[in-house]
Chain A
Amino acid sequence: MKSLPEITDKVKKNLIWKSIFRRDYRNTVRDKAQAVFGNVFLHLHPVQVRESAVKLRFTWGMGGITFFAFILLVITGVVLMFYYHPSIDQAYTDIKDLEFQVPFGVILRNLHRWGAHFMVIVVMIHMFRVFMTGSYKAPRQFNWGIGVFLLVLTFLLSFTGYLTPWDQLGFWAITVGTNMGAATPLLGYQGPFSEYLHITPYNDIRFALLGGAQVGGNALLRSYIWHCVAIPLISIILMFVHFWRVRKDGGISKPQK
């Protein structure tokens, strides 16, 4: 039998361990900082934060919880994609399959669905908190703007995900939603002056969103691509800017004095 220090020595003193962790960790302030600084996933986060900045009563931690919800949705969403075909013949039965046959499918689907509701709620609470604490003021105006885009993207993620089960609820939500686009001035065929501008159901914004003149297979596929790939990519890019600007604009906002 080997003693514990001997075993840790064997695990740590070899090329593999050293190539992953690069340096030894001692429980010092410097090494703690280095652990954040030298980690690709943590380096966006400040190495040190003021004690007042982590007061939960001021920030409520809602921005971080929103990010947590986003990660949850990415993970469950990717796993759900293994059992889902974005076609009008299969989409609805695939969801039924997930609910009743796929092992752990029901918990996956519900995590994704309730997680989405949760994210919308916490992102709105986050916005409320930022507003009520005046954290949108200089020098943080730019980040407020980014946040507004992220809020809209969150809503769009919810909206596009709504159609994916291809049930009555989603179908009519997309019908009504894209009809709003059709009624938008200069963009849709039902807007004012559309007949003089030659805007028809076949060349307006609704047509581009649906990939056709009616809610059908193309609309389901487009909604799926926006939901699973395009909007998450845009959101991730804006999230990086958002988190980075929190630091650049003087760190997370905190109570005055």
Chain B
Amino acid sequence: MQDDRELVTGQKKERSDRGSTDGGQVKSSDRRKFLMRVGWGSLAGFLAINSAAFLRFFYPRVLFEPPSQFKVGLPADYPIGTVSSQYQREYRTWIIRLQDGAFFAMETKCTHLGCTPSWMESQKKFKCPCHGSGYYITGLNFEGPAPRPMDRFKISLAEDGQLLVDKTIKFPGIPGKESNEVYPQSLLRV
């Protein structure tokens, strides 16, 4: 044990001697420190870039999901005062025509925890199966734990006369407010 320690310190001494006799040159201990920093630094940088790439990997560039803008047929296809669930499954959107003939598109998503409510034709309301939230035909919540009305999407007329829904433009429901009044631009009158 004693011998080993002497051997180690002896080596160190020898090296530092050699470093100092270089005269104005870089000390070998400094060089070693520098090289260690470069080595560990490159490894750290490599790992950092790799971790960033790994995180980015979880965000795909191309999605195989339905497009966010889609046509839903001619206005005449929709009777007055009805809720169409035709695009519920694929696009998660209801096409609704009110009694006054105005159209709007609403996301099929309960504002409580995101389940899909169902339109109850006999009771004229949307009912969420998860926790019992209820909404009027305009999306205004009136029962259950839902905190606000359901969100609407932009609906307009395309050049070919069909209704065009744009899910990138959203009209979020405001608690206690009727979306027809807050967002008159969400309504389409043909």
| Chain A residues at the B interface, C-beta cutoff of 8 Å | 172, 175-176, 179, 203, 207-208, 211-214, 216-218
Contact = CB atoms under 8 A, between A and B. Distances in A.
Interface of B: 55, 58-60, 63-65, 92, 113-115, 130
B75 to A, nearest CB: 28
Interface residue SS majority, chain A: helix
B109 to A, nearest CB: 9
A208 B55 CA distance: 9
Contacts of A218: 60
Contacts of A208: 55, 58-59
A212 to B, nearest CB: 5
Nearest to A182: B114
A211 B57 CA distance: 10
14 contacts: A172-B115, A172-B130, A175-B115, A176-B113, A176-B114, A176-B115, A176-B130, A179-B114, A203-B59, A208-B58, A212-B63, A212-B65, A214-B65, A214-B92
Nearest to A209: B58
Nearest to A180: B113
Contact of B59 (A175, A179, A207): A207
A201 to B, nearest CB: 10
Contact of A179 (B58, B60, B92, B113): B113
A122 to B, nearest CB: 30
Contacts of A214: 65, 92
A213 B65 contact: yes
Contacts of B92: 214
B42 to A, nearest CB: 26
Contacts of B65: 212-214, 216
B114 A213 contact: no
Q: Which 9 A-B pairs have the closest CB atoms?
A: A208-B58, A179-B114, A176-B113, A212-B63, A175-B114, A212-B65, A179-B113, A172-B115, A208-B59
Contacts of B113: 175-176, 179
A101 B94 CA distance: 40
A212 B130 CA distance: 23
A211 B61 CA distance: 10
A136 B58 CA distance: 36
Nearest to B170: A201
A211 B58 contact: yes
A92 to B, nearest CB: 16
Contacts of A213: 63, 65
A217 B63 CA distance: 11
Given A213-B63, A218-B60, 17 more contacts: A172-B115, A172-B130, A175-B113, A175-B115, A176-B113, A176-B114, A176-B115, A176-B130, A179-B113, A179-B114, A203-B59, A208-B55, A212-B65, A213-B65, A214-B65, A214-B92, A216-B65
